[in-house]
Structure 1
Amino acid sequence: MIYLDNNATTRLDPRVLEAMMPFLTDQFANAASTHPFGVTAHEAVKNARQQVANTLNCEVHEIVFASGATEAINLAIKGVAESYAHKGRHIVTVQTEHKAVLDVCHYLETRGFEVTYLPVQPDGLLDLETVRAAIRPDTILVSVMLVNNETGVIQPVQAIAALAHTAGALFMTDATQAVGKMPIDVDTLGVDLLTFSAHKFCGPKGIGGLFVRQRRPNKVKLEALLHGGGHERGLRSGTLNVPGIVGLGKALDLCRQEMPVETQHIASLRDHLETALLTIPGTRVNGNREHRLYNTTNIYFEHCDSDAMIMGLEGMAVSNGSACTAASIDPSHVLLALALNETEAFSCLRFSLGRFNNEADVQRAIDGVKNAVEGLRALV
């Protein structure tokens, strides 16, 4: 299997599994227990929290572990909505956000909140003047994802955060596709809330987290979603997933150590794949090619249904959009926001490369896609 769908999920690094194994077998204690057995688990969680803090350049008490980015996003947005409703009931986000953000915002609209969904330019980037114009005195939160999961486009979150803060609003970023893949400094970016998920950077599924700024000037107060035990400083009750947390910390340590070499390797593979596929007539890249993550390319193939292409690519895993909406019969909302029509949006493939891909994978992918395109166009 040639796996080129790393934005959906990644293979668990064997070194991460090795770090997790003791806590899946002999060291199975509850991290909240006070006996020596529990203290060992607690220390492992404490170490992982430090590993996350080292990656994000934040304090350890600013990290809240959750089951993944979706839960973290729910905690962040709903938590802000409840805590700051007395200041205002307006939220600003973007049409190209992940459904985890959009669906939470739609829910809040049924609870009396007003949400502005910003359009993007045809290359997927936000216009800063559009952002500035959308922020109002009653805006309590601006939420803009750092890296788009379908196109890899990187938004100018540092500048957007500054606009939010100038107006007295908090700024959140869904960094699920960024953490572990690019350097992240929450202070440099100016973010107040940031979400991430371990399975996007060769860690285990079922674990992720939320950065919640606790240092002034923007100390964030959140209302909890889950109650019952007061775990994670009262923000996320429930017995901690110690093996998952250990795996998350180990995965981030590996990313931080290997990022310079890995970035160059994956970027080279992506560029080779993209350059070769763009020699096919009737193709183009969706999204800005300068401001995007090095591992992703989203390509339009004229007169080629993406589902038919995926079916024809035997032994190869690629996608036509977000894994979270793969069962949907609707076209990608991200691509529609980039001014593609429905037919065009149904004719695109996302290729997302990762740590375990190599040149042979890319060459097989090039050959496979060219054959699939030729075969489909012959039927037109």
Structure 2
Amino acid sequence: MKRRLIEIAAVITALSAAHSSYAQTQPTRIEASARKSWTHKPTKIGLPPTIGTFARGDVMDLSGGPLLDVSVAYDDPVSRTHVNVYLYHAAVPSTALWFDVAATMIATNSKFGEPQHQGDPIVFTLPGSPIASGLRQSFTITKIGRSSGVALVAIGEWVVKLRMTSPNLDPAQLDTAIAQFMDALDWPRKLPPLIAASPLTRCPQPIAFGPRATKMKADGAAVLLGAMRGSLATEARSKAKVLKHPALCIHGDRIGGRLPVYQKEGGEGGYLIPLGDSGELLEIGKDWLAGILLGDAAKDDGATPWSVTVMKLDKWVQYPSYDAMPPPTQAVEIVQSENPLSTTSVYGKGSTISLSPDAMKGE
């Protein structure tokens, strides 16, 4: 561990403590041939110029250049049906998690009037795979159109999400159109290992969130260990012989009436809040690495700190630790008002850690 800390310290760079340093990037348009399939290089998935009566429109890199979050639009002039295909490098690549987020965003979208789902989510397979790794669902809507739906599948570190909305197709027709559209994408001949998907369910024993937690004084060694979590988690996932999605259930609480809260199962404790429906998460969990520094104290009185982490598409952003589990409303306030202690890259070659100037001062 000491040797690992020395190696990590060697790549530390200064990070401005200003919260505004994590600004949103501007989308960039990608020039794609109108006659050829456009291939998303990281996933090798091709988006044809036409799919049935749908014609491809704008290809946009929502991440500003590195293809971490791409949107491809299609329109059918006959049924006036609109499609967006999204490919993004998810912080936690889980079909069930991101499908539930996407379906919740449809079900709670006031622009759709009063959406009503048409039956339970449907599992589906990708062409050439026997594993039912995807989920899809269609909704009746009362505004903007007649139906809207989503299909989603996690492939390796990536998520492929299809959103379709139509003023003319009913939900059953839309479901058929979604299934046909997903089959018509140019999937790579050799797919990465896939995981069978099943929808998340309500928590049988939801967490009873307690009072507001107290921020702990930053400790230099603990900050370094906390900053290592992103690279260690990514490395462990890449080396895992058996792939698995996180064990989660749906908590009854929602942020602002829309963003769901996902409780960790299996005795791990903590929860996740999606920051929108494009792959980024706010994670609250036990900081077991920092707990190592407390030794027996953490085991005896439950003194292991609670970490607050924003998991972005290409980096983990670590915030100050707390003496207890912050409830969801406080967790959101923390990332809105506190300066992060560290940022760890988790995409591309190698991993770098940046610390805020005050992170090692114990402030």
TM-score range, shorter chain: under 0.3
Q: Between the two structures, name the one with larger relative contact order (CA 8 Å, sep ≥ 6).
A: 1
Task: Say which structure is richer in strand.
Answer: 2
Q: TM-score, normalised by structure 2?
A: 0.27
